[in-house]
Chains A and B, each alone.
Chain A
Amino acid sequence: MARVVVDVMLKPEILDPQGQAVQRALPRLGFDGVVDVRQGKRFEVELDGPADEAALARVREMAEKLLANTVIEEFDVRVEA
């Protein structure tokens, strides 16, 4: 058993109105000094076997095909210890 984490974020050049709304709310709550917030998604993928190179290749494939829309998003795959 292994857990693989896929983080999906909007590409830097894509405007993120959700992140902006969060950022604008922070000073009102007393959190100063925040210059930017961007919001993304985190997927926790549980595998029935080890997170070997073949398994990670499959996870990258599923990220490419379904978890992320690579027109607007980028993703990062890592094994959680």
Chain B
Amino acid sequence: MAPAIGVVTFPGSQDDQDALRAVRLSGASAVPLWHRDPDLHGVDAVVLPGGFSYGDYLRAGAIARFSPVMESVIAGARDGLPVLGICNGFQVLCESHLLPGALIRNGGMLFVNRDERLRVESASTVWTADYAPGQEIVIPIKNGEGRYTADERTLDALEAEGRVIARYLDNPNGSARDIAGIANAEGNVVGLMPHPEHAVEELTGPYPGPATDGLPFFTSILKHLVSVSA
């Protein structure tokens, strides 16, 4: 049986269906998870999708972080469950303290929606192993609060430990040190502001391309799950 990857739907999630589709395209079994249900239904990995969970009330991700499903996701992540947070999912992971730092209002106050060039800095996480370190890719971003921030000590530690997994080539929002995505120390939890699930098919990916640069996030985790279950 193919490994199962769950995608959480919160009230206000927007990209859960795209994330489920990306999981299916990679060859894994896609399992919808519901914010009020603490049962993870035996999934082997979890994706927290983009959107505006709970209307971004209070702070982006702040209410979602206390939802019943997140209690299970947080406990699982601490035991090594692979978790990928995309955009709002990244914000939820920071609010959960599974990842350090925070995502705040973009410099210039603009909501930025465009295809973004990134450099993959680390291929040593379970979500990025299918990339070559240093590989340049194109993936869409769409956010108003995507500016990564952390104190200098935390930023230095992230760099020293190789936990910056992707950087912007043309920083769209003032993110500290051009950071687009980071991992936890163990490498099972990854947060990313750009949307790999929107770059998985020729028809709907970035135009004129490359259109499918996001797919390796999903094939990376699939290969990892197959290898650990073999």
Chain A: residues with CB nearer than 8 A to chain B?
A: 10, 14-18, 21, 66-67, 69, 71-72
**Interface residues in B49-92 (C-beta closer than 8 Å to A):** 58-59, 62, 66
| Choice from A15, A67, A69 contacting B102 with Cβ under 8 Å | A69
Closest to B95 in A: A69
| Choice from A16, A17, A71 contacting B106 with Cβ under 8 Å | A17
11 CB contacts below 8 A, A to B, read A15-B104, A15-B107, A16-B105, A17-B106, A18-B105, A18-B109, A21-B109, A66-B66, A69-B62, A69-B102, A72-B104
The CA of A37 and the CA of B185, in the complex, are separated in Å by: 38
Q: Chain A residues near B59: list those with CB within 8 A.
A: 69
Distance to closest chain A CB from B24 (angstroms): 35
**Interface residues in B110-162 (C-beta closer than 8 Å to A):** 149-150
The CA of A72 and the CA of B149, in the complex, are separated in Å by: 8
The CA of A14 and the CA of B66, in the complex, are separated in Å by: 25
The CA of A18 and the CA of B107, in the complex, are separated in Å by: 9
Q: Assuming A17-B106, A18-B109, A66-B58, is B66 touching A71 (CB within 8 A)?
A: no
Q: Chain B residues near A17: list those with CB within 8 A.
A: 105-109
| Choice from B107, B150, B174 contacting A71 with Cβ under 8 Å | B150
Interface size of B as a range: 10 to 19
State the total of A-B contacts with C-beta under 8 angstroms: 31
Give the most central of A10, A21, A67, A71: most B CB within 10 Å: A71
A71 near B101 with CB under 8 A, answer yes
A71 near B109 with CB under 8 A, answer no
B94 near A71 with CB under 8 A, answer yes
| Choice from A14, A66, A67 contacting B104 with Cβ under 8 Å | A14
A66 near B106 with CB under 8 A, answer no
Q: Chain A residues near B150: list those with CB within 8 A.
A: 71
The CA of A31 and the CA of B101, in the complex, are separated in Å by: 36
Q: Chain B residues near A67: list those with CB within 8 A.
A: 58
The CA of A16 and the CA of B149, in the complex, are separated in Å by: 12
